[in-house]
């Protein structure tokens, strides 16, 4: 038998991955993934890219794209510059690089509850243990042994849809600075905004501290290009560049060029408004259908942005059994327990509203209601 | 101060990376990197890609591309199939995934001496220790404590240019099978062939054992697309897929589509012959210039394939001092010591012949000769 690393003994199939396989079955209505609606994707009618992009490129990314991203991030209040922006092969890569940088077996990280499950998986793989962040008092309990890093999605969180207040963001940054905790802010949904709410990055309050801020073009341009970016405090940035170099040398250069064309397109702001309007309509129709079908069986908040509803069902609901029966009926969702760092059962589910068309969403929610009424 | 992982305390700037920065200076003659000649890159005049590639895709890669790669690999003698091929974001990613899978702090790996330096860096980062492979007796010394994995480039090795014989390949596979050692074969240069020599993958002899075989499109299509692939024995393949999913979800889909068009192009075999002919001419001109300028100061073998000459200088040559003076004169190369897992000084250097044009190569080698004569 092959001898593998200790960390590999814990590799398990991702529950989401298995569900995505099920979701490929014809006729399946999937509320499970986080797939954007294809009608939001940027077009492919671009001029031919420059041929010199076919050669190896810089690890940090294309200079013109880095400069453009730095300008946008500085406008959000982040203390950054082009030399401290790195283009990623999708923002999942940023999570892996941050974990490599910070996590040994037994390292404590602070996370939200619920938290993004693919981040929890990566952190666990490197051996992390978890403490839960109390948003109203983020440094509470850190005492003598604070976590090494806090991972948060303050804006339209996955899976809860929650958006942190200005005070919560400031308190999080202050707690991290006070205890030398790295603040790792993941911000892939910030442009999918349906209601006014605070969106200033928490990392904007981290000057003098250690922080990593990352974003993604998967929701605003197209996921198939696998393009994200990060910026970080000066102590961490060069280390992240070297980890990126070891991971894949650099990110696809043609995609970087394409995304730069989209960012520089004068019609971009209008297009993003249309994307947000489209998703707002989908969210509202989904909320309507939820109220009609599940109003007596579940509670939720209207998400002010992002791609998900987070539902709390009756205490004691057997969510795994619900999922099994639901899949038999052709409807897929993600059990909330997968998003809990602390583990254990939970009468919660995450529903994605961006992919299914309104008619399919209606049918899918009616089936869920039937099963819950049983 | 931020608290980082133990492995991160050992992050050092890559010597090659630093040199690549120097190589950007105008007028620099670089023998240091491994950059293909841009005239070998595939064209960009393709029809517009299908729009559905803009959505998230499967972690393993596009089915049509996987099937095509599997067919080519099976023809080389590898025991594989489409379901056991995964597309990578460049073959550097395969090294990172294999290291994650196998290496804990203190894990022993068997490597060649010299060995590919970016692989040594990744293995070191995860905490590997190294044993050196004796090609004439690959399992020698493994005894009670064999390594967990052997990493080899049997075909046109980087940096030595060496090509293993059929017997050496068979002996390597047999030794790995006998001691439950994972054989990790890296094969990015196999199509850059200038002389007849054995190229059957060593992993073709690993049936029943644990193995990973990877290749790259960086040298045969274009590096800027960041596209490689791996196949592995059934025990390891699913684990590598899950590590890839955690690392970047999946590889850029537009690049996968582009590469599939190139692979299916009826003119491809002829184009690859032209690429090999071009590099053969460059190699021969470089060998000529080497003989004229460094014939008295260095020894080398004519590489039967790949992109590098490996030169042995006079015993005791101070290669770091040579490099410093050489950079001042506008010529860059890679010291051989960077390729030695066992560390220590070495009177060896690696020269890339694929990038510099003949006139620049001539000037660069004349400068090296002058410095060595000093």
pLDDT in tens, A148-181: 999 999 999 999 999 999 999 999 999 999 999 9
Q: In this complex, do B54 and A118 lie within 8 Å of one another by their Cβ atoms?
A: no
Pair of tokens at residue B335: 């010291």
Residue with tokens 């991203």: A69
d(CA B230, CA B86): 5
**Could you write out the DSSP letters of every residue in B220-249?**
TT-GGG--EEEEE-TTTHHHHHHHHHHHHS
Nearest of B209, B231, B206 to residue B67 by alpha carbon: B231
Nearest of A123, A117, A132, A104 to residue A342 by alpha carbon: A132
Q: In this complex, do B148 and A2 lie within 8 Å of one another by their Cβ atoms?
A: yes
d(CA A144, CA A157): 29
Q: Alpha-carbon torsion A95, A97, A102, A105, what sign?
A: positive
Measured between its terminal Cα atoms, the distance across chain B in Å is 48
Share of chain A above pLDDT 90, in %: 87
Per-residue burial over A205-221, b = 16 or more CB atoms within 10 Å of its CB, e = otherwise: bbeebbbbbbbbbbbbb
Minimal C-alpha gap between A56 and chain B (Å): 5
Question: Where in chain B are the domains?
Answer: 9-40+269-373, 55-264
The CATH number assigned to the domain with range A12-34+269-373 reads 3.90.1150.10
> In which residue ranges of chain B is pLDDT below 50?
none
A101 in contact with chain B, both atoms CB, cutoff 8 A: yes
pLDDT in tens, A206-223: 999 999 999 999 999 999
Residue A18 has pLDDT above 90, yes or no: no
* Residues of chain B contacting residue A4, judged by C-beta atoms under 8 Å apart: 101-102, 148, 239
Confidence of residue A20 (pLDDT cuts 50, 70, 90): low
Chain B residue with the nearest C-alpha to that of A183: B2
Q: Do residues B206 and B231 make contact, with C-beta atoms less than 8 angstroms apart?
A: no
Least confident of A29-38, A162-171, A188-197, B21-30: B21-30
Say what the pLDDT of residue A87 is: 98
Say what the pLDDT of residue B134 is: 95
d(CA B225, CA B256): 9
Confidence of residue A101 (pLDDT cuts 50, 70, 90): very high
CATH architecture of B9-40+269-373: Alpha-Beta Complex (3.90)
**What average pLDDT score do residues A134-141 get?**
93
**What average pLDDT score do residues A127-150 get?**
95
- Out of A218, A236, A251, the one facing B2 most closely (by C-beta) is A236
Chain A residue with the nearest C-alpha to that of B37: A55
Share of chain A above pLDDT 70, in %: 98
Say what the pLDDT of residue B10 is: 75
Residue A4 has pLDDT above 90, yes or no: yes
Say what the pLDDT of residue B12 is: 72
pLDDT, chain A, mean? 94
ipTM above 0.90, yes or no: yes
The CATH number assigned to the domain with range B55-264 reads 3.40.640.10
Distances in Å between the Cα of A191 and the Cα atoms of A90, A263, A268, B283 are 16, 13, 12, 52
Secondary structure string (H, E, C) spanning B155-172: CCCCCCCCCCCHHHHHHH
Distances in Å between the Cα of A316 and the Cα atoms of A312, A320, B120 are 11, 11, 52
The CATH number assigned to the domain with range A51-264 reads 3.40.640.10
pLDDT in tens, A257-290: 999 999 999 999 999 999 999 999 999 999 999 9
Pair of tokens at residue A74: 């500085």
Residue of B226, B242, B250 for testing the chain A interface, max A β-carbons within 10 Å = B226
Say what the pLDDT of residue A374 is: 82
């Amino acid at each position: 038998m092959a001898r593998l690393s200790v960390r590999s003994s814990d590799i398990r199939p991702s529950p989401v991955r298995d569900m995505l396989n099920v979701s490929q079955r014809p006729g399946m209505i999937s509320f499970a993934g986080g797939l954007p609606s294809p009608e939001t994707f940027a077009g492919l009618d671009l001029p031919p890219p420059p041929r010199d992009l076919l050669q190896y490129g810089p690890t940090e990314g294309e200079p013109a794209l880095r400069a453009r991203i730095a300008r946008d991030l500085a406008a959000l209040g982040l203390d950054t510059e082009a030399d401290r922006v790195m283009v990623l092969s999708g923002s999942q890569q940023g999570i892996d690089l941050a974990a490599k940088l910070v996590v040994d077996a037994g390292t404590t990280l602070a996370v939200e509850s619920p938290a993004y499950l693919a981040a929890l998986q990566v952190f666990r793989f490197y051996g992390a243990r978890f403490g839960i962040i109390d948003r109203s008092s983020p440094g509470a309990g850190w005492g003598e042994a604070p976590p090494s890093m806090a991972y948060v999605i303050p804006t339209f969180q996955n899976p809860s849809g929650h958006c942190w207040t200005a005070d919560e963001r400031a308190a999080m940054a202050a707690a991290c600075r006070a205890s030398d905790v790295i603040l790792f802010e993941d911000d892939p949904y910030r442009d999918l905004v349906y209601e006014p709410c605070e969106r200033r990055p928490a990392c904007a309050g981290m000057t003098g501290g250690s922080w990593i801020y990352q974003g993604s073009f998967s929701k605003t341009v197209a996921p198939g290009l696998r393009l994200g970016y990060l910026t970080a405090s000066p102590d961490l940035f060069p280390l992240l560049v070297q980890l990126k170099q070891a991971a894949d040398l650099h990110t696809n250069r043609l995609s970087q060029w394409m995304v730069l064309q989209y960012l520089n397109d004068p019609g971009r702001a209008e297009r993003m408004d249309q994307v947000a309007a489209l998703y707002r309509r989908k969210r509202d129709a989904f909320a309507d259908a939820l109220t009609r079908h599940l109003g007596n069986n579940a509670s939720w908040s209207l998400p002010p942005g992002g791609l998900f509803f987070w539902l709390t069902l009756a205490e004691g609901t057997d969510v795994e059994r619900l999922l099994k029966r639901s899949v038999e009926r052709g409807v897929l969702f993600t059990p909330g327990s997968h998003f809990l760092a602390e583990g254990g059962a939970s009468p919660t589910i995450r529903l994605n509203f961006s992919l299914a068309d309104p008619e399919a969403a209606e049918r899918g929610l009616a089936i869920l209601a039937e099963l819950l009424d049983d």
